[in-house]
Structure 1
Amino acid sequence: MFIEVLVLVDLLYSVIVFLTVQFLVCYLIPKPQRTLPPGPKGWPVVGALPLLGKMPHVVLAQMSIKYGPVMYLKMGTSGMVVASTPDSARAFLKTLDINFSNRPKDGGATYLAYNAQDMVFADYGPRWTLLRKLSNLHMLGGKALDGWADVRKVELGHMLKAMQESSKNGKEVVVAEMLTFAMANMIGQVLLSRRVFVTKGKESDEFKDMVVELMTVAGLFNIGDFIPQIAWMDVHGIVGGMKRLHKKFDELLNKMIKERNLMEFERKDKPDLLDVLMANRDDKNREQLSHTNIKALFLNLFTAGTDTSSSIIEWALSEMMKNPRILKRAHEEMDQVIGRDRRLEESDLPKLTYLQAICKETFRKHPSTPLNLPRVSTQPCEVNGYYIPKGTRLSVNIWAIGRDPNVWENPLEFTPERFLSEKNAKIDPRGNNFELIPFGAGRRICAGTRMGITLVEYILGTLVHSFDWKVCNGVEINMDEAFGLALQKAVPLSAIVRPRLSPKAYLV
């Protein structure tokens, strides 16, 4: 009995000592400070969400002037860090690339992208790697792009012919509608071996409206993404809109794939991307793709492939029409390199240095994704001496970098010549020069970077070379922005075009 009491006393003593040590460690010994990046305090519960307004990229750029290149915002129950300079972007997208290689699971990924079964929102892992590999090999990579060059040439020929007819009738050309029709058919040929819109009309215009709506709602800061406890309320109706839009796209994609399968006997020897994906789906020895994965990937390629490139071309034409000197110099270069007896060919592009400078300047001033696509940290980390917690959302303000006076001289002016100077001539938009990252950088750089640059240079160059561009008398070009995942013009560009090449150049 005495021994048992001694054991009990000893045990009690050990517990008291342990608890005392824990108390001293937890409460009396100073902890190393973990300092978050500076940022606005925001409101109770909702944090900084109400501060962002309707133009978050602009508001965040203004905030960065006060709080610095790495800024932290409390957003509901989670946090968001914003990088606003080339050096801070490099720290996140290159140095800490692997830690920020996943996307947050927000409403866009869930309700638009088939619950992140696509390539854009999928977790960094085997399925994402396979989707990206197959897309590069058969559509987006250099060799694949060369293999589909004839498709781009033919579809662009159809567009030029339609524009020539409009010019004869004195009709305005709505640039965004025209570009969406042509690009959707280019992509349709690669994905499904068919033009998805035979004629420009109601169906193609509705598709354009759906794409714009998707890019708009996917870029909104939805309160339910940041305060999950009230997500079910759908306060602003954003999720309801996403669900309705997803249903439309799902019906359209099912229809496209079904119609393509019915034309199997008409197919040529060259496989399209659907062939490749279906063959992989049936391969039991590899990572498997479902029918939903295929539709989700097609949604990525159709929407991003048409909207981001068309918006850049529309901004470039708008800037050139507002600056006739730039349009004139572009015409002079093209007349010297190509002449007026034939159309521009993709092989001409390396010789058109001023056209390339115009494209770079448009990527700088009007990036198609102003806040890049969001990423999220998988582990806590440190940037510039600041602590970044696990699960922090990352936005890189590409728009702010492109308009930073510490990076660019007279950044609000549209000056292609800046990219002809020795200082900037080697700057390239493919993700290696962080002063100009319109497609992002690192592992999650836009998979369509190479295709996007090719389409912008080739289509913009062809439109500039083929026509003179004018607005109706008394009409001023509106340069206001409409925020979304892609940066649209608030007022679409309409123009009167006049052919400037020999008539034979417009034959399909």
Structure 2
Amino acid sequence: MMMILLLCSVIFFTILFSKKQSRWKKGKTPPSPPGLPLIGNLHQLGRHTHRSLCSLSHQYGPLMLLHLGSVPVLIVSSAEMAQEILKTHDVTFANRPRSKLSQKLLYNNRDVASAPYGEYWRQMKKVCVVHLLSNKMVKSFQDVREDEITLMMEKIRKSSSLPFNLSKILECLTNDVICRVALGRKYGGETDFKKLTDRLSELLGTFSIGSFVPWLSWIDWIRGWDAQLDKTGKDLDEFFEKVVQDHEYGNHQDRSDLIDALLTVKREKSAGFDIDRLSIKAITLDVFVGGSDTSFTLLEWAMTELLRHPESMERLQEEVRTICKGKSRVSEDDTQEMKYLRAVIKEALRLHPPFPMMAPHESTEDVKLRDYHIPAGTQVMMNAWAIGREVATWGPDAEEFKPERHLDTSVDFRGQNFELIPFGAGRRICPAVSFAVVLNEVVLANLVHGFDWKLPEESTEDKTDVAESNGFSVHREFPLYAIASSPTT
């Protein structure tokens, strides 16, 4: 009986897959690697998807069609094609595909990052830009950033001249800043909360078999993936519900934070529409996950590359210490003059975008890209990692860390230049770019201003590639250990 049911399932989904394939036969289709029956190209993704797809794109081109089970997915690996999709056809590709993961963890797609393109998304993005992420709001949290940087520097001084886990200190810093800005107080020291955020980060980078091969969705249940989604979603909601209640009843710190701002918008109806409780929690989750993980990943990779390239470290230190001569710390105003600092950050983002495979887009109507027919409902994934290493754009030394390449160019990462899109571009660009960048600049400047740095003697990082973690957000697989000492005069 079980064999008959299994055979029927295979036949049913093979027919379904064939019908979906027929939509692609209306015109010329992009190049595609040969796949296997039913699972398509799933077996070719590899442990590090961005690297596997970059290798495939060298053979099949910058616009490549994969079939991940029954789901057609366009893989974009060049600045030229990214511009055509995110600028020329931006409206067509502004939607997000729905998934079980986003429904369970992201309040059924009520957050800004995963919400379907439409009026709800427009209104929620406006709330974020106007009430949460404006220059005035970013400036208002300057004292929070200064407080936490001071604490970070003190921790490093206590470990002076001995190898210490710099990754842990940077993670703690970014977590504490975002907690205070978004939630009103620190939660990083609470074991249960740290475990919850680690579970969330891990799940966001996991792969759901049933999303791409529906007839194998039972595997997600067997391996406990569905149960993990349910429990993590429930625990997250309970945590954020408690935080919102604390704000409503005044049981948090005196200073205003992002939840206070959202509750004010809700109470005064100043957004022009009714923002409900679930939306407040969804936006807060976006800010926390995006702000904390992105900043930590960037700072960790920037320090990794500077330690592996002492000549770049020395040049950055010379710039920072010259501008801040006689000062005990670097202020946010000081960083405005630091051209090489911005070049280092751009180069770190080019080589190590926090999210190498950007959040997927989905076409809402048939469209032609070059001479290729792309039907409605096609998912599109931008390989920001591959675009940042494209030889046609960056030259034969594209794999090398060279901040100098950014000194005489206007290329930036704020969505206007498609050769550098770590935060996306077009309508779905991350609205918190300025919020993140101001923290990264002032933290990195203070680190190189306050200390001389070197790798431990036993480290081989100056000679070998650094292993990457696996998941949606890609940081180092192993913590960065470094030695900090007082600057030599």
TM-score in terms of structure 2 length: 0.88
Alpha-carbon spacing, 1:208–1:351, altered in 2? closer, same or farther (3 Å): farther
Matched, 1:48 2:41: yes
Alpha-carbon spacing, 1:178–1:253, altered in 2? closer, same or farther (3 Å): farther
Other-structure match for 1:498: 485
Other-structure match for 1:415: 402
Output the amino acid matched with 2:107: Y
Other-structure match for 2:50: 57
Other-structure match for 1:361: 347
Unmatched 5+ residue regions in structure 2?
1-23
After TM superposition, give the deviation of residue 362 of structure 1 in Å: 0.4
Matched, 1:125 2:118: yes
Other-structure match for 1:431: 415
After TM superposition, give the deviation of residue 85 of structure 1 in Å: 0.5
Tell whether the 8 Å contact from 1:342 to 1:501 is kept in structure 2 after alignment: no
> In 2, Cα distance between the equivalents of 1:303 and 1:151?
18
Alpha-carbon spacing, 1:318–1:212, altered in 2? closer, same or farther (3 Å): farther
After TM superposition, give the deviation of residue 49 of structure 1 in Å: 1.0
Matched, 1:194 2:185: yes
DSSP 3-state at the match of 1:138: helix
After TM superposition, give the deviation of residue 106 of structure 1 in Å: 1.5
Matched, 1:396 2:382: yes
Tell whether the 8 Å contact from 1:469 to 1:495 is kept in structure 2 after alignment: yes
The CA RMSD measured in Å over matched residues stands at 2.4
User: How many residues were matched structurally?
Assistant: 460
Other-structure match for 2:70: 77
Q: Could you tell me which of 268, 281, 290 is aligned with 2:266?
A: 281
Other-structure match for 1:447: 431
After TM superposition, give the deviation of residue 378 of structure 1 in Å: 1.0
> In 1, Cα distance between the equivalents of 2:363 and 2:291?
27
After TM superposition, give the deviation of residue 237 of structure 1 in Å: 4.0
Tell whether the 8 Å contact from 1:379 to 1:389 is kept in structure 2 after alignment: yes
After TM superposition, give the deviation of residue 221 of structure 1 in Å: 3.6
After TM superposition, give the deviation of residue 281 of structure 1 in Å: 3.0
> In 1, Cα distance between the equivalents of 2:96 and 2:240?
24
> In 2, Cα distance between the equivalents of 1:250 and 1:174?
32
Pairs within 5 Å for 1:451-462: 451-462=435-446
Single out whichever of 240-249 and 315-324 deviates more from structure 2. 240-249
DSSP 3-state at the match of 2:91: helix
After TM superposition, give the deviation of residue 252 of structure 1 in Å: 3.0
DSSP 3-state at the match of 1:407: helix
Single out whichever of 362-371 and 489-498 deviates more from structure 2. 489-498
Alpha-carbon spacing, 1:349–1:45, altered in 2? closer, same or farther (3 Å): same
After TM superposition, give the deviation of residue 368 of structure 1 in Å: 0.8
Q: Deviations over 1:219-269 (max 9, x none)?
A: 33422111234434416543333333333433332343344445459635x
After TM superposition, give the deviation of residue 447 of structure 1 in Å: 1.5
Tell whether the 8 Å contact from 2:57 to 2:63 is kept in structure 1 after alignment: yes
Alpha-carbon spacing, 1:32–1:391, altered in 2? closer, same or farther (3 Å): closer
> In 1, Cα distance between the equivalents of 2:419 and 2:180?
35
Other-structure match for 1:22: none
> In 2, Cα distance between the equivalents of 1:265 and 1:213?
25
Pairs within 5 Å for 1:252-401: 252-264=239-251, 267-268=254-255, 271-282=256-267, 286-401=272-387
Tell whether the 8 Å contact from 1:340 to 1:500 is kept in structure 2 after alignment: no
DSSP 3-state at the match of 2:426: coil
> In 1, Cα distance between the equivalents of 2:380 and 2:262?
32
Alpha-carbon spacing, 1:208–1:142, altered in 2? closer, same or farther (3 Å): same
Other-structure match for 1:16: none
Other-structure match for 1:244: 231
Alpha-carbon spacing, 1:266–1:237, altered in 2? closer, same or farther (3 Å): closer
> In 2, Cα distance between the equivalents of 1:416 and 1:482?
24
> In 2, Cα distance between the equivalents of 1:239 and 1:295?
22
Tell whether the 8 Å contact from 1:83 to 1:397 is kept in structure 2 after alignment: yes
Q: Deviations over 1:189-212 (max 9, x none)?
A: 332333334xxx463xx6555445
Other-structure match for 1:183: 174
Single out whichever of 292-301 and 365-374 deviates more from structure 2. 292-301
Output the amino acid matched with 1:184: N
Tell whether the 8 Å contact from 2:350 to 2:385 is kept in structure 1 after alignment: yes
Other-structure match for 1:9: none
Q: Could you tell me which of 117, 141, 149 is aligned with 1:148?
A: 141
> In 2, Cα distance between the equivalents of 1:32 and 1:302?
43
Q: Aligned residues: percent identity?
A: 34
Tell whether the 8 Å contact from 1:126 to 1:287 is kept in structure 2 after alignment: no
Other-structure match for 1:18: none
> In 1, Cα distance between the equivalents of 2:194 and 2:163?
18
Tell whether the 8 Å contact from 1:369 to 1:486 is kept in structure 2 after alignment: yes
Unmatched 5+ residue regions in structure 1?
1-30, 503-508
Other-structure match for 1:8: none
